[in-house]
C-alpha cells in the first residue's frame, strides 16, 4: 500500500506533458508543421448591429499574442503552405467587412501588409494576395478591380481569381500575377473555383425565375447548375440542379465527365453531398425535411 501511495504522490507532482501556451478559452485552433494558432477569450463586439454568433478575440501564435480583434469567421487567419508564416485580419470591422492584414512568424514581430483588407489567400509557394477597397494586392503590385471581395490562387500559382460582391455586379476576373493584367471571365457570378488542372469555373447570371445558373469553365458554358464541385483529380464535376424546383434547398445530383461528357444522374432530392478522396461521390438523397433524414448514397467512379 505504501508503494502505491508513493507512486500516486510522485505522479501528482510531475509536470504534465507539453508546455503551456496561454490561459483562457481557446477557439479555432489550427496547426502547421509544429506551430499552432488560436483565438483566446473571443467575445461579442460592443455593437448591437452585429449578430450574436459573431465573435472576435486575440490571436495567438504559439505562446505569444500576434493580434487583436480577429474574427472567428472562416478565412480570417491561415498559415502559409510552407508553414513559416501566419496571415490574419486584425481589428476586424464587422459593419465594413474589413480589417488590417498582418503576417506573423514564430521568430519575429508581426508586420502589416495592408491597412484595409476584406479577404486574403496564400499561393502554393507562399505568396500572399488580398482584396481591399476596389483593389487586388499581391507582392508589390496592386490592380484596380471595382467592388472586389473574394480571392483565390490557382493550384500552380500562375493565376489569381478575384470576384466582386453581388451588390457590385459579381464580376469574376482572372489576373496574371507576373504582368498584373486582369481578364474579365464572367459577370453576375456566385460560386467560383479552380480545378486541379488550373481551369477556372464559375456560376454565371441566374435566370429570371431562379434555379440553375450557367456553369462556365474559363468563360465557356459547359452545363447549368445551382452548385458544383470538382472531383479530387479534376476529371469530373458534381452538379446540383434545382432547375425543376427553383428555390428549393434540395435538387438532383449529377456527375459530369470533363471535358465533354454528358451529365449522369446520381440521385434526386439531394440535400448534402461531397467528393471522397478516391473519387466516390457521397450524398444524402431523398431528403425529408420534416424527418430530417435521407438515404446515404455513394456513387463510385464509372458506376453507381
Q: What is the pLDDT of residue 17?
A: 66
pTM of the model: 0.87
Instruction: Please check whether residue 126 is in contact with residue 141, taking contact to mean a CB–CB distance below 8 angstroms.
Output: no
Compute φ and ψ for 8, nearest 5 degrees. Answer: -65, -40
Place of cell 483529380: 233
List Cα–Cα distances, 145 to 93, 138, 154, 205, 256, in angstroms: 21, 13, 18, 19, 33
Pairing state between β 26-32 and 35-43: antiparallel
Q: What is the pLDDT of residue 4?
A: 38
Instruction: Please check whether residue 153 is in contact with residue 184, taking contact to mean a CB–CB distance below 8 angstroms.
Output: no
Give the number of other CB atoms < 10 A from CB of residue 292.
8
Helix (H, G, I), strand (E, B) or coil at 11: helix
Mean pLDDT of 178-186: 97
Greater model confidence, 303 or 93: 93
Q: Is residue 222 part of a domain?
A: yes
Q: What is the pLDDT of residue 9?
A: 38
Task: Give the Cα separation of 97 and 144 in Å (integer).
Answer: 19
Q: What is the pLDDT of residue 249?
A: 79
Q: Is residue 78 part of a domain?
A: no
pLDDT band at 36 (very low <50, low <70, confident <90, very high): very high
Q: What is the DSSP letter of 13?
A: H
Q: Is residue 243 part of a domain?
A: yes
Q: Is residue 263 part of a domain?
A: yes
pLDDT in tens, 286-301: 888 787 788 999 998 8
Mean pLDDT score of the chain: 91
Q: What is the pLDDT of residue 263?
A: 94
Q: What is the pLDDT of residue 244?
A: 79
Number of domains the chain is built from: 1
pLDDT in tens, 158-170: 999 999 999 999 9
The answer on pLDDT for 120 being more than 70 is: yes
Task: Give the Cα separation of 55 and 267 in Å (integer).
Answer: 38
Range of the domain at 274: 196-304
Q: Is residue 44 part of a domain?
A: no
Q: Is residue 253 part of a domain?
A: yes
Q: Is residue 221 part of a domain?
A: yes
**Full DSSP string of 253-264:** EEEEETTTPPPE
pLDDT in tens, 242-297: 987 777 778 999 999 999 899 999 999 998 999 999 999 999 998 887 877 889 99
Q: What percent of the chain has pLDDT over 90?
A: 78
Q: Is residue 99 part of a domain?
A: no
Is residue 278 exposed (0-12), middle (13-18) or buried (19+ Cβ within 10 Å)? exposed
pLDDT band at 211 (very low <50, low <70, confident <90, very high): confident
Locate 17 and state its grid cell. Answer: 506533458
| Helices and strands of the chain, counted as H and E runs | 1, 27
Amino acid at each position: 500500500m505504501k508503494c502505491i501511495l508513493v507512486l500516486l504522490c510522485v505522479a501528482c507532482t510531475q509536470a504534465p506533458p507539453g508546455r503551456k501556451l496561454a490561459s483562457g478559452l481557446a477557439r479555432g485552433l489550427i496547426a502547421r508543421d509544429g506551430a499552432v494558432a488560436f483565438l483566446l477569450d473571443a467575445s461579442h463586439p460592443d455593437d448591437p448591429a452585429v449578430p450574436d454568433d459573431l465573435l472576435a478575440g486575440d490571436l495567438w501564435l504559439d505562446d505569444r499574442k500576434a493580434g487583436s480583434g480577429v474574427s472567428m469567421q472562416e478565412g480570417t487567419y491561415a498559415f502559409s503552405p510552407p508553414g513559416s508564416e501566419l496571415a490574419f485580419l486584425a481589428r476586424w470591422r464587422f459593419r465594413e467587412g474589413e480589417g488590417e492584414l498582418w503576417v506573423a512568424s514564430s521568430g519575429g514581430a508581426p508586420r502589416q501588409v495592408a491597412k484595409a483588407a476584406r479577404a486574403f489567400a496564400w499561393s502554393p509557394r507562399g505568396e500572399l494576395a488580398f482584396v481591399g477597397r476596389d483593389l487586388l494586392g499581391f507582392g508589390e503590385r496592386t490592380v484596380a478591380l471595382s467592388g472586389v471581395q473574394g480571392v483565390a490562387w490557382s493550384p500552380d500559382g500562375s493565376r489569381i481569381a478575384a470576384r466582386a460582391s453581388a451588390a457590385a455586379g459579381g464580376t469574376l476576373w482572372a489576373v496574371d500575377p507576373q504582368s498584373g493584367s486582369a481578364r474579365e471571365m464572367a459577370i453576375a457570378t456566385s460560386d467560383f473555383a479552380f480545378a486541379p488542372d488550373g481551369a477556372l469555373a464559375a456560376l454565371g447570371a441566374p435566370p429570371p425565375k431562379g434555379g440553375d445558373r450557367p456553369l462556365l469553365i474559363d468563360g465557356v458554358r459547359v452545363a447549368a447548375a445551382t452548385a458544383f464541385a470538382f472531383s479530387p483529380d479534376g476529371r469530373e464535376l458534381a452538379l446540383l440542379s434545382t432547375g425543376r424546383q427553383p428555390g428549393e434547398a434540395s435538387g438532383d445530383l449529377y456527375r459530369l465527365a470533363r471535358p465533354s461528357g454528358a451529365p449522369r444522374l446520381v440521385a434526386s432530392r439531394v440535400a448534402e453531398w461531397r467528393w471522397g478522396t478516391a473519387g466516390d461521390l457521397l450524398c444524402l438523397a431523398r431528403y425529408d425535411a420534416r424527418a430530417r433524414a435521407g438515404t446515404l448514397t455513394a456513387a463510385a467512379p464509372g458506376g453507381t
